[in-house]
Structure 1
Amino acid sequence: MTPLIEALNVRAIDAYEREDTTVLPGLRSLGAVLALHGIAENGGLVGGGIENIFFSERMQSVDDAIAGYRWLGLVDVAALVARARDEYLRFRPTGREELSDEDAVLWDQLDSAFFEIATLDRLEAAVAARLHEIAPETMPS
Structure 2
Amino acid sequence: MTPLIDALNVRAVHAYERRDASALPGLRSLGAVMALHGIAENGGLVGGGVENVFFSDDLRSIEDAVEGYRWLGLSDVAELVTRAREEYLRFRPTGWEELSETDASLWDQLDSAYSAIAPSERLEAAVAAHLHEIAPELLPS
TM-score by length of 1: 0.99
Q: Which residue of 1 aligns with 2:75?
A: 75
Q: Which residue of 2 aligns with 1:126?
A: 126
- Alpha-carbon distance between aligned partners in 2 of 1:71 and 1:2, rounded to the nearest angstrom: 20
Q: Which residue of 2 aligns with 1:26?
A: 26
**Any stretches of 5+ residues in structure 1 without a counterpart?**
none
> SS at the partner of 1:104?
helix
CA RMSD of aligned residues (A): 0.4
For 2:73, give the aligned amino acid: G
Matched, 1:97 2:97: yes
Question: How many residues get paired?
Answer: 141
Shift of 1:135: 0.6
- Alpha-carbon distance between aligned partners in 2 of 1:26 and 1:86, rounded to the nearest angstrom: 26
Output one character per residue of 1:37-93: Cα deviation in whole Å (capped at 9) or x when no partner: 000000000000000010011110000000000000000000000000000000000
- Alpha-carbon distance between aligned partners in 2 of 1:139 and 1:7, rounded to the nearest angstrom: 12
> SS at the partner of 1:95?
coil
- Alpha-carbon distance between aligned partners in 1 of 2:70 and 2:105, rounded to the nearest angstrom: 27
Matched, 1:36 2:46: no
- Alpha-carbon distance between aligned partners in 1 of 2:11 and 2:138, rounded to the nearest angstrom: 12
For 1:72, give the aligned amino acid: L
TM-score by length of 2: 0.99
- Alpha-carbon distance between aligned partners in 2 of 1:22 and 1:104, rounded to the nearest angstrom: 43
- Alpha-carbon distance between aligned partners in 1 of 2:139 and 2:58, rounded to the nearest angstrom: 32
Output one character per residue of 1:105-139: Cα deviation in whole Å (capped at 9) or x when no partner: 00000000000000111000000000000010111
- Alpha-carbon distance between aligned partners in 2 of 1:95 and 1:52, rounded to the nearest angstrom: 10
